[in-house]
């Protein structure tokens, strides 16, 4: 594979859960156990494709479904009452009817996972942590969980359930061997609201035969690929078909880790389609050597795989060698990508910058490679040392780790080690400049042209109806093309597949992906905040003046915090009674702030009177489109009466 998209659940999220014991003296057998499994909200990353989802798929709330939780749910005893809440599509219940609460999480979710676990533990629930972060670093959870599930869940989760029933759950369950995937149950897809996901996750294999130095997959799952029996995959497809799913994502880190088994899977899927006409279309992750096997590529095409994510990492041969990415060496990587296109399969690419062999010319080399390859979904990350990986151990020995820096998200303007052949500043500045170059209209257009040149026409029928397609086309023109002015329209037309009209949908969706990543970058990869901060300061002064006006007198206070190299944050405190007219003023001021600056806002609500609920609900409705930049903090009493959708806003759950 390759590095897992952050919005797809990691296979190791299969770990989770729970039991509790005799807090309240209930006899274990006296009632059916109730367990709530939670997938915490992901912080926005360019994997979220927020702009594309908001503008083109308004009925979808998240890119991928939480497969790990659905699998853990299937491992629960039959007489347990299991519920799944995915905070990426729905709000967290603050007082759920449950005995046990299990919260999973990848590294990027750790902060929210910790907040949820701490909150529910304080409220008296038995809490269990699982997921890839708990698998790698179970020691980080001791302070705020009752039990940690570390590693694949298939054997240790039922063991935990037995212990829980017996009233003696342990603080740590650790999987030490390799689980046979023949023992993995069909996930409880029925517990998920599948229509809210762009693609539904399923899994065929775990483990990867390669040994990339930075990779945590092989630390967790080993190097011997293990696969599910084909009859089980068929059952899973049956389930998805029953629920009307069309788009699915095999989350395997390298679907072709065991090529022979992968070919059998692809034959099965093609045969399944012939028998059922289910209209499934798939995406997955695989290593670049997929391009060397014509039969494999034909099978992918025959099984309706539309795209594959490939860890290309670097055009710099020295960097590939250094990191052990041998499968990408000694080959023409551009030719490999183009060959995959020639089978009508799109390529999403993972790239990494910051290897010891990278000097400042790497930015230009990556830029050139990515443009030539035509890869629009180019997920470029800074090399980051994930704990327990060989890279982490090496950098630790070399005393190059920046221990205070996080290692969870490699797509932000930071990393957690000292680079070797350039300064940290050069690395960050070069990384930002590379994104600015790649997501210009010029570069998007050039990449689309380079893809169209090699892409075989697609025979796949669109999954959308004619009216949905026409609506999306209008959205694309209004929200995507026109705001870029004449120059963007010209760039778009120069990338239009005049001679291959069947590629028009692919070209438009490539532009949408490019513009979506650019939207993310514009909001997050900002170099100079000073001018922006001045503007925020002006707004804050204006707010203060308005709030001090007689009409708005009440418990309203506004403050601003400035940070180094980060957008400013504004805090509005509503303490007690506030004039009703003030809600309107707050709404328009925050809306302006959101539109004109990159500031975030914290709305602090305390001593909230019930009669304010309606104007507050209207205010939140108005602000919901900016929810990812709005944090809501409430005191305990207000939290009980004010309904806030935590899948829209960042709802703070800290002790107040």
Does position 88 interact with ligand SF4 (CB under 6 A)? The reply is no
Of 496, 564, 480, 494, residue with least CA distance to 528:
564
Name which of 286 and 605 has its Cβ closer to ligand SF4.
286
Does position 99 interact with ligand SF4 (CB under 6 A)? The reply is no
Q: Are strands 346-353 and 172-174 parallel, antiparallel or unpaired?
A: unpaired
Q: 181 to 210, contacts with ligand SF4 by CB under 6 A? A: 208, 210
Strand partners, 282: 248, 305
Does position 291 interact with ligand SF4 (CB under 6 A)? The reply is no
Does position 102 interact with ligand SF4 (CB under 6 A)? The reply is no
Q: Which of 48, 132, 254, 638 binds ligand SF4 (CB under 6 A)?
A: 254
Does position 516 interact with ligand SF4 (CB under 6 A)? The reply is no
Q: How far apart are the C-alpha atoms of 162 and 147, rounded to whole Å?
A: 14
Rg (CA), the chain: 25
Does position 212 interact with ligand SF4 (CB under 6 A)? The reply is yes
Does position 352 interact with ligand SF4 (CB under 6 A)? The reply is no
Residue 308 in tokens: 């594959």
Q: How far apart are the C-alpha atoms of 488 and 506, rounded to whole Å?
A: 18
Q: Which long-range contacts (CB under 8 A, 24 or more apart) does 390-398 make?
A: 390/211, 390/213, 391/213, 391/214, 391/323, 394/213
- Output the CA torsion 514→515→517→522 (10° steps): 140
Does position 311 interact with ligand SF4 (CB under 6 A)? The reply is yes
Q: Which of 145, 287, 319, 495 binds ligand SF4 (CB under 6 A)?
A: 287
Does position 312 interact with ligand SF4 (CB under 6 A)? The reply is no
Name which of 208 and 632 has its Cβ closer to ligand SF4.
208
Does position 253 interact with ligand SF4 (CB under 6 A)? The reply is yes
Name which of 210 and 649 has its Cβ closer to ligand SF4.
210
In the complex, what is the shortest distance from the CB of residue 402 to ligand SF4, in angstroms, rounded to a whole number?
22
Query: What element of type H or E holds 102?
Result: strand 100-103
Q: State how far the alpha carbon of 342 is from the alpha carbons of 304, 313, 497, 616, in Å.
A: 14, 22, 15, 54
Name which of 215 and 377 has its Cβ closer to ligand SF4.
215
Does position 1 interact with ligand SF4 (CB under 6 A)? The reply is yes
Asked if 237 contacts 270 with a C-beta cutoff of 8 angstroms, the reply is no
Name which of 13 and 86 has its Cβ closer to ligand SF4.
13
Q: How many residues bind ligand SF4 (CB under 6 A)?
A: 13
The backbone torsions φ and ψ at residue 432, rounded to the nearest 5 degrees and listed phi first, read -65, -45
Name which of 10 and 146 has its Cβ closer to ligand SF4.
10
Q: 368 to 397, contacts with ligand SF4 by CB under 6 A? A: none
Q: Which of 63, 200, 217, 593 binds ligand SF4 (CB under 6 A)?
A: 217
Name which of 1 and 117 has its Cβ closer to ligand SF4.
1
Name which of 130 and 311 has its Cβ closer to ligand SF4.
311
Q: How far apart are the C-alpha atoms of 611 and 169, rounded to whole Å?
A: 45
Of 223, 308, 302, residue with least CA distance to 268:
302
Q: Would you give the end-to-end CA distance of the chain in angstroms?
A: 43
Does position 38 interact with ligand SF4 (CB under 6 A)? The reply is no
Does position 215 interact with ligand SF4 (CB under 6 A)? The reply is yes
Does position 218 interact with ligand SF4 (CB under 6 A)? The reply is yes
Residue 557 in tokens: 């206070």
Name which of 312 and 543 has its Cβ closer to ligand SF4.
312
Asked if 206 contacts 182 with a C-beta cutoff of 8 angstroms, the reply is no
* Site residues for ligand SF4 per CB under 6 A: 1-2, 208, 210-212, 215, 217-218, 253-254, 287, 311
């Amino acid at each position: 594979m390759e590095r897992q998209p952050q919005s797809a659940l990691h296979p190791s999220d299969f770990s989770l859960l729970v039991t509790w014991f005799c807090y309240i003296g209930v006899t274990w057998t006296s009632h059916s156990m109730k367990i709530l499994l939670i997938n915490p909200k992901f912080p926005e990353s360019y994997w979220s494709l927020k702009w594309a989802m908001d503008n083109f798929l308004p009925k979808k709330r998240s890119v991928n479904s939480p497969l790990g939780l659905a699998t853990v749910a299937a491992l629960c005893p039959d007489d347990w009452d299991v519920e799944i809440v995915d905070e990426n599509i729905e709000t967290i219940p603050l007082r759920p009817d449950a005995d046990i609460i299990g919260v999973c999480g990848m590294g990027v979710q750790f902060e929210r996972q910790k907040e949820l676990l701490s909150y529910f533990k304080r409220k008296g629930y038995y809490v269990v942590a699982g997921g890839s972060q708990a698998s790698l670093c179970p020691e980080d959870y001791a302070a705020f969980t009752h039990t940690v599930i570390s590693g694949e869940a298939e054997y240790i989760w039922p063991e935990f359930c037995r212990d829980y029933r017996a009233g003696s759950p342990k603080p740590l369950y650790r999987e030490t061997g390799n689980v046979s995937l023949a023992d993995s149950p069909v996930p409880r897809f029925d517990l998920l609201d599948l229509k809210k996901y762009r693609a539904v996750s399923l899994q065929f294999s775990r483990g990867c035969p390669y040994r990339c130095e930075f990779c945590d997959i092989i630390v967790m799952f080993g190097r011997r690929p293990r696969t599910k029996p084909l009859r089980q995959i068929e059952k899973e497809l049956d389930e998805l078909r029953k629920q009307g799913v069309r788009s699915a994502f095999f989350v395997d880190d390298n679907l072709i880790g065991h090529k022979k088994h992968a070919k059998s899977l692809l034959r099965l899927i093609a045969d399944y389609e012939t028998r059922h006409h289910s209209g499934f279309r798939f995406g997955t992750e695989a290593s670049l050597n997929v391009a060397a096997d014509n039969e494999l590529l034909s099978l992918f095409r025959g099984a309706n795989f539309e795209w594959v994510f490939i860890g290309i990492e670097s055009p710099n041969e020295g960097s590939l060698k250094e990191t052990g990415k041998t499968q990408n060496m000694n080959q023409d990587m551009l030719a490999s990508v183009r060959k995959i296109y020639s089978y009508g399969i799109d390529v999403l690419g993972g790239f990494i910058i910051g290897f010891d062999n990278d000097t400042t010319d790497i930015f230009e080399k990556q830029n050139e490679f990515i443009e030539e390859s035509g890869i629009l979904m180019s997920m470029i990350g800074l090399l980051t040392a994930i704990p327990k990986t060989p890279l982490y151990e090496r950098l630790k020995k070399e005393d190059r780790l920046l221990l205070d820096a996080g290692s969870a998200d490699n797509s932000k303007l930071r990393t957690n080690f000292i680079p070797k052949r350039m300064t940290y500043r050069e690395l960050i500045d070069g990384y930002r400049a590379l994104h600015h170059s790649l997501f210009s209209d010029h570069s998007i257009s050039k990449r689309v042209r380079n893809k169209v040149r090699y892409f075989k026409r697609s025979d796949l029928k669109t999954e959308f109806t004619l009216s949905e397609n026409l609506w999306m086309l209008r959205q694309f023109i209004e929200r995507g093309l026109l705001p870029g002015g004449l120059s963007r329209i010209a760039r778009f037309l120069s990338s239009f597949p005049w001679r291959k009209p069947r590629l028009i949908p692919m070209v438009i969706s490539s532009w949408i992906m490019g513009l979506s990543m650019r939207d993310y970058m514009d909001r997050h990869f900002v170099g100079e905040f000073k001018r922006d901060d001045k503007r925020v300061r002006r707004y804050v002064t204006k707010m203060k003046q308005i709030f001090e006006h007689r009409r708005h007198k009440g418990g309203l206070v506004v403050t601003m915090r400035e940070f180094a190299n980060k957008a400013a944050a504004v805090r509005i405190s509503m303490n007690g009674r506030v004039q009703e007219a003030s809600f309107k003023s707050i709404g328009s001021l925050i809306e302006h702030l959101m539109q004109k600056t990159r500031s975030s806002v914290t709305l602090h609500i305390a001593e909230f009177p019930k009669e304010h609920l309606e104007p507050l609900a209207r205010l939140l409705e108005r602000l919901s489109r900016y929810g990812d930049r709005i944090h809501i903090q409430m005191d305990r009493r207000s939290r009980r009466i004010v309904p806030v959708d935590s899948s829209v806003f960042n709802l703070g759950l800290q002790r107040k």
